[in-house]
């Protein structure tokens, strides 16, 4: 009906009024909706948004805690902190990376390779991870960056603390180093402290093992900051709680001395206390400088370290495995005594011994004549041991080797240690599915063949032989530790071995030059030379560095009242002659530091300075040669992985190919210099064991 | 009695709306003063000064006779369309989207002026359309073309917000003009179908993203969702009484984007709380109620539609902006009338106010003529 009506002005007006009313109601409805929404946000959700607004307004910036110190046994710092000025970058906040870096390199005087390092790190870092630009800045440079801050978004100058290792490379492997947390670290531990500029976590060694103890509790600075991060005002600061210190059994002076004394060689020195098992020095050289590692590993430094065939990144004390050579002879002799062998039982050494259808030579192929146990030790006569080892049997020898610590695991706070092998018939059956052969015994008894040990085990062996106590290497100082129990050896057996070992140094033995220049202190020791390649490749004395024999020396002093034991391993030193002078000087330092230091200073003049000076010179040479062209250093994660890879346990010999390892030549006793000649090659010489390079 | 002492020209002004508006603008000035960190420059002083300049303009508009409004409706519309084309051309040459013309002394945004422009031209059209044609195609097609040209041009810019505002004003005029209800219902259904299609095919990426982020602001807390999130934080943290004048951390520490323009309501709410928000809503209610009342009392079809249309234009601004800042609508760049700093929107809104005042004047003259 309505539709049919003609449209009139009145109807339209009426319609307009109705519809306007509807429109007005709709507007009122929207108004009510908005009011309700406003009330919901402002009243009902007030708490939530208040918190959100506060967390916007207040910026909590963490102050990295000062790391706990690492102290030596006398309280001297091996790792401490020093106040410094530093500059970091947060890639996310940087607007123009190139311009920022070029401004910074102008202000801070960064070299091209440093700028390259920073660029690499910026690319690899997740945006929120701070990247270190420079640390240890002087006040002028720090201030220069600080005043230019408005044009350098993302740049954070800070004064804080950085890790400092007073003796540098000497403690590189002992203490480890620190570095910025990697993305993986952050993933594992979602702690905002990890991405705080200037904060570092332990990356290796003790720094890593004792991370939780050393870390401490961060301080905090509450500031009111704008959305772009500009600080408007300070709201308060909470001081950090420094991490707890750890005190080691190490003697800092001795550690440093030993590191310096190794000189240009690649080797390890371990010194232990014969009453407690305290490790007084544990050195692997060459090493890296943990100070510069902790500032970030630069490309030149990385190239320098990874190009070095002396593997400065490997902790040789715990991860280097070597055939121990003749240093096992006192141990083997002790097992003979335990097994009831009369020490006066003799064998005539004519320079070799036929075993089966093969002749095993003595290192002195002219022969030692009638040889009893003492002479077997101090002259290091191989034939004596070939003969009686066959008589006593490998199981007895292997049991003694394990009792004295060879092939054993010691709970040292380092990841990825290598423990080596003490072979016995059961082991060979398990490993190679072949039966133990008599020549395996012959090889093992002179510390060749399958036998592999690390220098710490050698030091432990020396300390156990010296003291007759069941000593285990201890790195953390504990003055209330229980006294170690006795090994249960007969004192007369020990006295016999001690006397023979004393003869090595102070009598008719193989290391007369190792005599201590200390009045009233006599050192007992045993030399060892381990072949690296068969005599068909090289004679072990000269030629390619990598083909030279390893030099070993174990010792303790004073011989009649053992207090200190020491093991020295020099990789490719060309024989024990490279090892025992170092042992002598290190032991001299224990009793008379000044005297030892005088000797060292003379050496360092020939070597071109101390460790630090030599590393600096090498660095400069590399920088001059490669500059920014050196390949980029791996990021922290990769670097520590590569360091770990360096430290992977040595591969076991893959095949039983050690049937007739020739005895390594011993250094000629000073009493008879004419005898310096290499032993004749044997029938089918083959590499004994090739410790990796 | 008092009136006798006050000059006619002043007494006749619609003080019931001018006073609340002035209060609102001064309040807005206070908010802008605080947003500038306690300074009149650069926003607060300009804001209040502009209001008074445009208030005088509105009063002048109010004095324009109805005939002149009708006469100029089509030419003004045509000029605005030309300007829109011009903007498009200049933008095309300059590269990128340009929404304004630089006139030297001010920048003119033709799309902004088109909001009252479309109301004017459609009111004129329906008032001149024979009554009997309201249900026929003649009531639909010409307005559709009149709307389509500017709306299309504005959307091309692309300025979705303004395009919607123009369309909304036009549709409301059609609704009030008495077009059959089924058209609007049908249109709403069609819109419901077209919206998803438009979302996937017609919108620009950044617009689509805004819609998505509106659905879930937390999905993009540092990008587009940042605006909505920060705005809600500002409003929500204000509570009932607010943080106090000059104490808004969200705006002062730059967490709130566009604190002095599109998100001025959030800036205000943070410091003045829900009380301030209700005050603003109340004044808007007074202004809009006055506008619709003027429309209801208007003497003829043209002035009725004109006043209602202008009111609706203001309403649309308010509605979209407040829904946006409270997280009920996606982020579209539409300022809040009388509070947001900005010349173009102030001018548009005051043109609307002035036009409603003109209608008010015509109806009073009409009624006084009767008495």
Q: Is residue A155 in some structural domain?
A: yes
Whether A260 is in a domain gets the answer no
Tell me if ipTM is over 0.90. yes
By Cβ distance, the residue of A23, A31, A38 closest to B326 is A38
Q: Which of A335, A323, A471 lies closest to A400 in space, CA to CA?
A: A335
Residue-by-residue DSSP string for A131-165 = EEEEEEE-HHHHHHHHHTGGG-TTEEEEEEEEEE-
Q: Are residues A203 and A277 in the same domain?
A: no
- Nearest by Cα to B304 from A17, A9, A10, A7: A17
Please name the member of A16, A24, A38 whose beta carbon is closest to the beta carbon of B235. Answer: A38
What per-residue string of b and e applies to B234-271 under the rule 16 or more CB within 10 Å gives b?
bbbbbbeebbeeeebbbbbbebbbbbbbbbbbbbbbbb
CA nearest neighbour of B120 among B59, B78, B92: B78
Model confidence at A461, pLDDT cuts 50, 70, 90, reads: very high
Residue A248 predicted with pLDDT over 60: yes
| Averaged pLDDT for residues A165-173 | 88
* B-chain residue closest to A30, CA distance: B319
Look at residue A48 in the predicted model and tell me its pLDDT.
92
Contact B199, B330 (CB under 8 A): no
Q: What is the rounded average pLDDT for all residues in chain B?
A: 86
Compute the Cα dihedral for A119, A122, A125, A130 and give only its sign: positive
Query: Residue A484 domain-assigned?
Result: yes
| Residues A386, A350 within the same domain | yes
Q: What is the pLDDT of residues B138-163, one digit of tens each?
A: 888 999 999 999 998 888 777 778 88
Q: Is A603 domain-assigned?
A: no
User: Does A209 share its domain with A279?
Assistant: no
Q: Do B237 and A49 touch (CB under 8 A)?
A: yes
Q: What is the C-alpha separation between B219 and B40, in angstroms, rounded?
A: 37
A271 and A205 both lie in a single domain: no
What does the pLDDT look like over B22-35, one tens digit per residue?
Answer: 999 999 999 999 99
**All structural domains of chain B with their residue ranges:** 2-365
**Chain A residues touching residue B234 (CB < 8 angstroms):** 49, 53
Q: Is B208 on the interface with A (CB under 8 A)?
A: no
* Contact present, B7 and B239 (Cβ < 8 Å): no
* In a domain? residue A225: yes
- pLDDT exceeds 50 at position A649: no
Best CA proximity match to B236, nearest among B273, B200, B193, B196 = B273
Helical segments of chain B, H only: 8-11, 15-35, 44-62, 66-94, 110-128, 141-156, 160-176, 181-201, 205-215, 224-238, 249-252, 264-297, 301-325, 343-370
- pLDDT band with cut points at 50, 70 and 90 for residue B267: very high
pTM of the model as a whole: 0.68
Cβ pair A38:B281 closer than 8 A: yes
CATH number of the domain encompassing residue A367:
3.40.710.10
Q: Which residue of B has its CA nearest to A33?
A: B323
* pLDDT tens digits, one per residue of B50-101: 999 999 999 999 999 999 999 999 999 999 999 888 887 876 555 455 667 7
A275: left (phi over 0), alpha (psi -120 to 50) or beta: alpha
Q: Tell me, what's the pLDDT at B303?
A: 93
Same domain, A195 and A273: no
Q: Does A684 fall in a domain?
A: no
Q: Residue A142 domain-assigned?
A: yes
Residues A476 and A524 in one domain: yes
CB pairs under 8 A between A and B: 139
pLDDT number for residue A233:
80
> In this predicted model, what pLDDT tens digit does every residue of B324-370 receive, in sequence order?
999 888 777 788 999 998 888 899 999 999 999 999 999 887 554 43
Number of domains comprising chain A: 2
Q: Are residues A207 and A278 in the same domain?
A: no
Which carries the bigger pLDDT value, residue A1 or residue A536?
Answer: A536
The reply to whether residue B322 touches residue A35, judged by beta carbons under 8 angstroms, is no
pLDDT number for residue B60? 93
Cα dist from A366 to A332, A355, A361, whole Å: 23, 18, 10
Does A612 score more than 60 pLDDT? yes
Q: Which of B240, B323, B327 sits opposite A43 (nearest CB)?
A: B240
On whether both A132 and A209 belong to a single domain, the answer is yes
Shared-domain flag, residues A366 and A488: yes
Q: Do B176 and A41 touch (CB under 8 A)?
A: no
Q: Are residues A237 and A276 in the same domain?
A: no
Residue A678 has pLDDT above 50, yes or no: no
Q: Is residue A437 part of a domain?
A: yes
Residues A452, A340 within the same domain: yes
Q: Could you tell me which chain B residue has the CA closest to the CA of A21?
A: B292
Tell me: do A325 and A390 sit in the same domain: yes
Q: What's the domain range around A333?
A: 266-284+315-592+671-675
Question: For A352-380, what is each residue's pLDDT tens digit?
Answer: 888 888 888 888 888 888 899 989 999 98
Confidence check: pLDDT of A693 > 70: no
């Amino acid at each position: 009906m309505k539709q049919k009506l003609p449209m009139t002005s009145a109807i339209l007006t009426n319609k307009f009024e109705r519809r306007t009313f509807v429109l007005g109601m709709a507007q009122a409805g929207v108004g009510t909706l908005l009011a309700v929404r406003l009330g919901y946000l402002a009243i009902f959700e007030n708490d939530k948004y208040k918190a959100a607004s506060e967390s916007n307004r207040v910026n909590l910036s963490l102050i990295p805690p000062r790391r706990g110190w690492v102290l030596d046994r006398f309280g001297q710092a091996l790792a401490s902190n020093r106040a410094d000025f530093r500059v970091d970058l947060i890639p996310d906040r940087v607007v123009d990376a190139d311009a920022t870096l070029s401004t910074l390199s102008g202000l801070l005087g960064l070299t091209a390779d440093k700028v390259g390092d920073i660029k690499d790190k910026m690319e690899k870092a997740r945006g929120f991870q701070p990247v270190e630009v420079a640390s240890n800045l002087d006040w002028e440079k720090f201030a220069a960056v600080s005043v230019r801050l408005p044009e350098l978004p993302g740049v954070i100058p800070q004064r804080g603390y950085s890790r400092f290792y007073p003796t540098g490379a000497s403690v590189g492997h002992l203490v480890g180093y620190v570095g910025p947390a990697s993305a993986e670290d952050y993933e594992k531990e979602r702690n905002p402290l990890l991405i705080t500029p200037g904060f570092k976590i332990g990356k290796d060694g003790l720094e890593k093992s004792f991370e939780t103890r050393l870390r401490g509790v961060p301080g905090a600075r509450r500031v009111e900051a704008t959305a772009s991060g500009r600080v408007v005002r300070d709201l308060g600061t909470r001081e950090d709680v420094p991490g707890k210190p750890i005190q080691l059994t190490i003697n800092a002076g001795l550690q440093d001395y030993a590191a310096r004394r190794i000189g240009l060689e690649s080797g390890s020195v371990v010194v232990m206390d014969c009453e407690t098992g305290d490790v007084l020095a544990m050195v692997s050289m060459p090493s890296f400088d943990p100070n510069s590692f902790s500032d970030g590993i630069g490309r030149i430094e990385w190239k320098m370290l990874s190009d070095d065939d002396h593997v400065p990144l490997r902790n040789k004390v715990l991860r280097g495995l070597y055939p121990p050579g003749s240093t096992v002879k006192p141990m083997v002799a002790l097992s003979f005594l335990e097994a009831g062998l009369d020490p006066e039982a003799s064998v005539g050494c004519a320079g070799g011994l036929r075993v089966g259808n093969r002749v095993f030579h003595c290192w002195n192929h002219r022969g030692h004549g009638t040889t009893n146990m003492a002479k077997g030790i101090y002259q290091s006569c191989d034939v004596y041991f070939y003969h009686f080892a066959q008589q006593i049997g490998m199981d007895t020898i292997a049991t003694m080797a394990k009792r004295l610590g060879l092939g054993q695991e010691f709970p040292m706070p380092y990841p990825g240690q290598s423990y080596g092998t003490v072979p016995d018939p059961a082991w060979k059956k398990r490993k190679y599915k072949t039966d133990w052969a008599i020549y395996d015994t012959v090889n093992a008894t002179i510390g060749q063949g399958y036998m592999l040990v690390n220098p710490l085990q050698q030091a432990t062996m020396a300390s156990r032989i010296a003291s007759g106590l069941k000593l285990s290497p201890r790195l953390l100082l504990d003055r209330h530790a229980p006294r170690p129990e006795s090994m249960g050896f007969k004192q007369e057996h020990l006295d016999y071995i001690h006397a023979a070992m004393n003869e090595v140094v102070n009598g008719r033995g193989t290391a007369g030059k190792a005599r201590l220049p200390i009045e009233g202190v006599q050192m007992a020791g045993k030399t060892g030379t381990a072949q690296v390649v068969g005599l068909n490749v090289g004679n072990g004395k000269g030629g390619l560095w990598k083909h030279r024999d390893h030099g070993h020396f174990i010792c303790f002093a004073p011989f009649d009242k053992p207090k200190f034991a020491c093991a020295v391993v020099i990789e490719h030193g060309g024989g024990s002659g490279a090892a025992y002078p170092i042992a002598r000087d290190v032991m001299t330092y224990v009793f008379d530091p000044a005297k030892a230091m005088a000797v060292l200073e003379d050496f360092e003049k020939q070597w071109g300075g101390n460790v630090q000076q030599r590393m600096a010179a090498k660095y400069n040479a590399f920088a001059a040669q490669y500059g920014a062209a050196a390949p980029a250093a791996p990021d922290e994660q990769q670097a520590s992985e590569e360091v770990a890879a360096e430290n992977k346990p040595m591969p076991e010999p893959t095949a039983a190919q050690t049937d007739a390892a020739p005895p390594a030549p011993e250094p000629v006793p000073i009493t008879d210099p004419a005898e310096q000649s290499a032993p004749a090659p044997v029938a089918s010489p083959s590499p004994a064991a090739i410790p990796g390079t | 009695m008092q009136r006798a002492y006050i000059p006619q020209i002043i007494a006749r002004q619609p003080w019931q709306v001018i006073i609340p508006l002035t209060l609102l603008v001064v309040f807005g000035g206070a908010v802008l003063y605080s947003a500038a960190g306690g300074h009149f420059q650069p926003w607060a002083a300009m804001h209040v000064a502009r209001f008074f300049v445009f208030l005088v303009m509105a009063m002048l508009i109010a004095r324009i006779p109805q005939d002149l409004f009708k006469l100029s409706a089509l030419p003004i519309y045509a000029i605005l369309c030309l300007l829109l084309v011009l903007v498009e051309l200049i933008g095309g040459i300059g590269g990128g989207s340009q929404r304004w013309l630089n006139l030297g002394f001010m920048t003119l945004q033709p799309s902004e002026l088109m909001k009252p422009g479309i109301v004017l031209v459609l009111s004129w059209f329906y008032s001149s359309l024979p009554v009997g044609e309201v249900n026929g195609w003649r009531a639909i097609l010409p307005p559709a073309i009149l709307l389509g040209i500017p709306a299309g041009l504005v959307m091309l810019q692309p300025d979705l917000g303004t395009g919607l505002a123009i369309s909304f004003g036009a549709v409301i005029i059609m609704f009030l003009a008495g077009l059959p209800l089924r058209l609007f219902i049908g249109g709403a259904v069609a819109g419901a179908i077209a919206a998803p299609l438009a979302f996937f095919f017609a919108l620009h990426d950044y617009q689509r993203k805004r819609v998505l982020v509106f659905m879930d602001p937390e999905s993009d807390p540092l990008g587009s969702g940042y605006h909505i999130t920060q705005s809600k934080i500002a409003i929500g943290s204000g509570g009932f009484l607010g943080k106090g004048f000059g104490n808004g951390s969200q705006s002062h520490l730059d967490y709130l984007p566009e604190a002095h323009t599109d998100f001025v309501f959030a800036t205000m709410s943070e410091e003045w709380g829900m009380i301030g928000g209700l005050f603003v809503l109340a004044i808007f209610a007074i202004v809009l109620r006055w506008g619709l009342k003027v429309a209801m009392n208007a003497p003829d079809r043209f002035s009725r539609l004109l006043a209602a249309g202008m009111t609706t234009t203001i309403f649309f601004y308010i509605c979209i902006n407040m829904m946006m800042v409270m997280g009920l609508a996606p982020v579209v760049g539409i300022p809040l009338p009388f509070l947001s700093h900005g010349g173009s929107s102030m001018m548009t809104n005051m043109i609307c106010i002035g036009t409603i005042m003109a209608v008010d004047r015509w109806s009073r003259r009409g009624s006084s003529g009767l008495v």
